[in-house]
Amino acid sequence: MPPRLNLFAARTAVPVLRQPSAPSASQRCIASALRRNAAQGTKSGFQSSVGVRVQRRWNSSASDGKTPEEAQRQAESMPHVSEEAAEINKIMHKEGNGTRSSPELEQGTPVSEILQRDEEARKHAPKVFQDQMKNGSSGSGSRFFSTSARRGQLEQQSTGRSEDQASAALVESMISQVTQQAVDLTPGLKFDAPGTLSRSDNFRKRYEPLLEQFTKLLMRDGKLAMAQKNMSIILDHLRSSPPPSINYKRSLLPGPPPPQLPLNPVLYLTLIIDSVAPLIKLRNQKGIVGGGASVQVPAPLPERTRRRTAIRWIIDASDKRRDSKFAQRVAAELVAVAEGRSGVWEKKEHAHKLAVAGRVNVGFKQRTAKFFM
Amino acid sequence: MVSSFCWSCLTRLRQTPRTVLPSPTAVPRGPAFHTSAVRFFPNPMMRKKPGQELGGPKYRQSKSARMKKKKPVDGKARPPPVGERKALRKRIVLSNPNALEVEGMQELTEETMVDSRLRGNVLALPVPMLDQLRAVQAFKPKQGWSIFRRPGTVLRRETLEMGRLFDNISGVGEDKGTAVKKIITGSRKSGKSVHLLQAMAMAFTKKWVVFTVPEAQDLVSATTGYGPLSDENPNLYVQNEATASLLSRTLIANKTILSKLQVSRIHPALSAVQPGMTLENLAKFGVQDPASSWAVFQALWAELTATSATTGLEKNFTPRPPILVTVDGLAHWMRNSEYRTTEFEPIHAHDLVFVRHFLSLLKPGKDESTLPNGGALLYATSTSNNPSIYSFEVALKQVAARHAGVDPSAPEFPKLDPYSNPDSRVLEAFISTKPTSAQEGMLEVQTIGGVSRDEARGFMEYFARSGLLRETVNDEWVGEKWTLAGGGVIGELERLGRRLRVAAA
């Protein structure tokens, strides 16, 4: 496997090298800086990737009177502006005396608010903020700088100062060197290696989930091939039967107009099933009203169960038909459902009616107190 | 059953004198010292209702949980009417009004069937021809005609070659009037039967006379009547109903051609047939009277293969058109039939005169060509319903070798395994020497394989343009399907085309 190089981390590492504490190190090598950071990481007992810790500070707070440790700590991490203030506060007030700092310091404050009330801060604010304040075009709805940290960093790098450019060029050359090494290590790859697969990319389903569910429910005596044959007869029937005439009282779920349905039989089937699928079922629950009696509490069904119920209803209703073949019976029943003629609609309406009646039982809690003789 | 007394009260009660104990009927319902709600138990003195039984199972009644059995739905007692299921199975639907009309779809005509620029296109079968094709039972139930707006077939390489062949036979060139004899084999779903259908369609286009045997098995499965041919030939058997239906098929499909041709020979076996009557009427005799159908068929065949009239009847003679003969499922004719002799011995299929006639056409004629007016014999094997006959397999290999010019005495000529109990009659049926007539082609074996990628693309585009396939048909996609279809086996391509797309997971 080629050595993995985190470009993002490498780029973020660049500003570290420009810290006044180690100006010469940045000119020499990035590796030494990384090593130094790693050493610091172990010293402070905070283990994480270099890229996380080595971040650039975007605030422009004054660094006057900084102790060497403090400068180093600031170089290590880029805390939020108020986090940093809180930290400073903690140090200054000799933490542990029991007095809490202000909520502003504890929870953080937007930079804009600080700038609004602090004259000094406004004077030393970054150029972008100063430009924005000068223009006063906060109402325009669009900033001319990006709020995305990552993109901002990239832009910053491309539009950076000459010092920035020099270090960027250095890193670029190093990146290209490492990339070249990686390419040399993996000969035979003519083009880029394919990207990583998403989590579900290896789940390859041959059939639509609904089709598969319907086919399995059509299956009798474990004969799946027979069920698949029946399914294809059903789909061909849907494909070649005349488009359904819409019954406005019992119309299908919104979809394409009926003349287009037969050309997309899977969608047609899905609409039929989902239109008569019950949303809820009644669950018998004991111990709500006492006396050992059970009451019926409506409960929502997950999608797959809703479809399962609808398919069962349709297959059961098709048993009463007179067609000689099972697949023909089911197909005819499906078309009857699409046209609102089937008794399956009544089943669904009945289930919903009972569920509405059972709504009064929803609020009850299970009685926990038990009486024993 | 829980007593309404609790244990402590019972112990207390035990101390009281016996006379003080109240009678069980007078026990108050629920002792007063309990705080729980009074529970209503049935009065033990009350008579139980017959159906209502509380307090568990009776003596020697099973105590396990009893589950209700679902009653089977009534109405299954009466099966569907006789023949309904078979009719449904054999039903041929040639149109799906929901499918889109393919714009710019060309029909099969004399020009398009030889146009190599159209290779890979799907050509529609002309609507007037559909009745003829139905009459000769060219369509099979499972060929997937029912999902398209109108039936059409791919113009593949084999089709174009056949078109050119038919064009030459009907034309005016040097190939005019030649007879082509082919046995068509190929893997499963490779399009053998549809190739025969295309041949029939081309023959109808070229105004040939078409004889078909759509299912060779029907003649040997003992489902039609049979009897000895005559007293002179007690070992040959004739199937009158099957012959009558062959005549009827031929009559309906070739009505216009047969009505223009006239009887130009004397047929002593048929007293009712007069010279000068049309061949259509001659065939009608056989259809109306199955007892004479075999004689009528022989007369009709003699008339159609005549090159000239007998003396004195020249005015009734017009040149006869070429003939196309197709047989599907040839292997069924290569073994004993289901028929039995009077001694209950099995009858070999070659002892049925119907079968014998069509097999004899494969051999070269003695003096002149078997089809003197030209034509084609296309006999296809089947792979979905196919008896495994060793002799037939070897015979086909021998035919191929002989056609390739391998000497039968050469060591590379396919030989029979002597221990495999070969059927010599099968081998004999395919031994054909070099034809004496230049007009007669040698028997050959044509193997049909997969279509090319371009043809597959044209076929898949036909699906897409009919609205049945919702995919972007490009070379990559077609290549994938072509490979999945075993290298372009067209039946598998058809399955892939009608298979519904899986939504992205």
Q: Pick A192 or B226 by higher pLDDT.
A: B226
Q: Which among B80, B146, B505 has the least Cβ separation from residue A240? A: B146
Helix axes A162-185, A30-44, angle to 10 degrees: 90
Give the pLDDT confidence score for residue A67 in this predicted structure: 54
Same domain, residue pair B323 and B424? yes
CA distance B460 to chain A (A): 16
pLDDT of residue A25: 40
Same domain, B327 and B413: yes
Q: Does residue B478 belong to any structural domain of this protein?
A: yes
User: Based on the domain organization, do B457 and B441 belong to the same domain?
Assistant: no
pLDDT in tens, B24-64: 555 445 455 555 555 555 555 655 555 555 566 677 777 77
Given a contact cutoff of 8 angstroms between Cβ atoms, the answer to whether A322 and A308 are in contact is: no
Contacting A with CB below 8 Å, chain B residues are 2, 6, 34, 36-37, 73, 75, 79-80, 84-85, 88, 93, 96-100, 146-147, 467-468, 470, 500-503, 505
CATH number for the domain including A303? 1.10.455.10
What are the chain A neighbours of B73 within 8 Å (beta carbons)? 319-320
Q: Do B505 and A205 touch (CB under 8 A)?
A: yes
Same domain, B340 and B428: yes
What pLDDT, on the 0 to 100 scale, is given for residue B72? 67
Question: Looking at per-residue confidence, does B65 or A280 come out higher?
Answer: A280
- Cβ neighbours of A236 in B, within 8 Å: 146-147
Range of the domain at A53: 7-138+145-182
pLDDT value of residue A233: 93
Residues B323 and B383 in one domain: yes
Sign of the alpha-carbon dihedral angle for B402, B406, B410, B412 = negative
ipTM, 2 dp: 0.79
Q: Is A370 in the B-facing interface, judged by CB distances under 8 Å?
A: no
Contact assignment for B98 to A239 by CB distance below 8 Å: yes
Contact B204, B133 (CB under 8 A): yes
Q: Does residue B350 sit in the same domain as residue B479?
A: no
Tell me what the pLDDT averaged over chain B comes to: 88
* pLDDT (0 to 100) of residue A52: 39
pLDDT digits (tens, 9 = 90+) for B376-387: 999 999 998 899
Evaluate whether B335 touches B423 at the Cβ level (below 8 Å). yes
Do A154 and A221 fall within a single domain? no
Per cent of chain B over pLDDT 90 is 68
Q: What's the sign of the alpha-carbon dihedral B14, B16, B18, B21?
A: negative
Same domain? For B462 and B361 the reply is no
Which DSSP category does B124 fall into? E
Q: What is the pLDDT along chain A (373 residues), one digit of tens a residue?
A: 444 444 444 444 444 444 444 444 444 444 444 444 444 444 444 444 433 344 444 544 444 544 555 556 555 555 566 667 777 777 776 544 545 555 665 666 777 777 888 888 888 888 888 887 777 655 555 666 656 655 444 445 445 467 778 888 999 998 888 888 777 766 777 777 777 777 766 777 778 889 999 999 999 999 999 999 999 999 999 999 999 998 999 999 999 999 999 999 999 999 999 999 999 999 988 877 777 788 889 999 999 999 999 999 999 999 989 888 999 999 999 999 999 999 999 999 999 999 999 988 887 766 555 555 5
Domain of B185 in residue numbering reads as 128-139+177-260+318-448
Q: Measured between CB atoms, does A289 come within 8 Å of chain B?
A: no
> What is the chain B residue with the closest CA to A237?
B147
Which chain A residue's Cα is nearest to B148?
A: A240
The mean pLDDT of B182-195, rounded to a whole number, is 96
The total of structural domains in chain B comes to 2
Strand B375-380 relative to strand B323-328, pairing: parallel
Lowest mean pLDDT among A133-137, B93-97, B103-107: A133-137
Q: Residue written as tokens 């038909």?
A: A321
Residue B362: per-residue pLDDT: 93
pLDDT of residue A129: 80
> B491 near B191, Cβ under 8 Å?
yes
Look at residue A324 in the predicted model and tell me its pLDDT. Answer: 87
The angle that helices A326-338 and A265-276 make with each other, rounded to 10 degrees, is 70
What number of helices (H) and strands (E) belong to chain B?
A: 15, 11
pTM of the model: 0.69
For residue B367, the model assigns a pLDDT of: 82
B324-379, pLDDT tens digit by residue?
A: 999 999 999 999 999 999 999 999 999 999 999 999 999 998 888 999 999 999 99
How many separate domains does chain A show? 2
Which residues in chain A touch residue B2, judged by CB atoms under 8 angstroms apart?
373
- Report how far residue B226's alpha carbon sits from residue B242's, in angstroms, rounded to the nearest whole number: 9
Residue B251 lies in a domain: yes
A372 touches chain B (CB under 8 A): no
Q: Which residues make Cβ contacts (< 8 Å) with residue A234, sequence separation at least 6?
A: A269, A327, A330, A331, A334
Residue A24 lies in a domain: yes
Q: Do B408 and B346 lie in a common domain?
A: yes
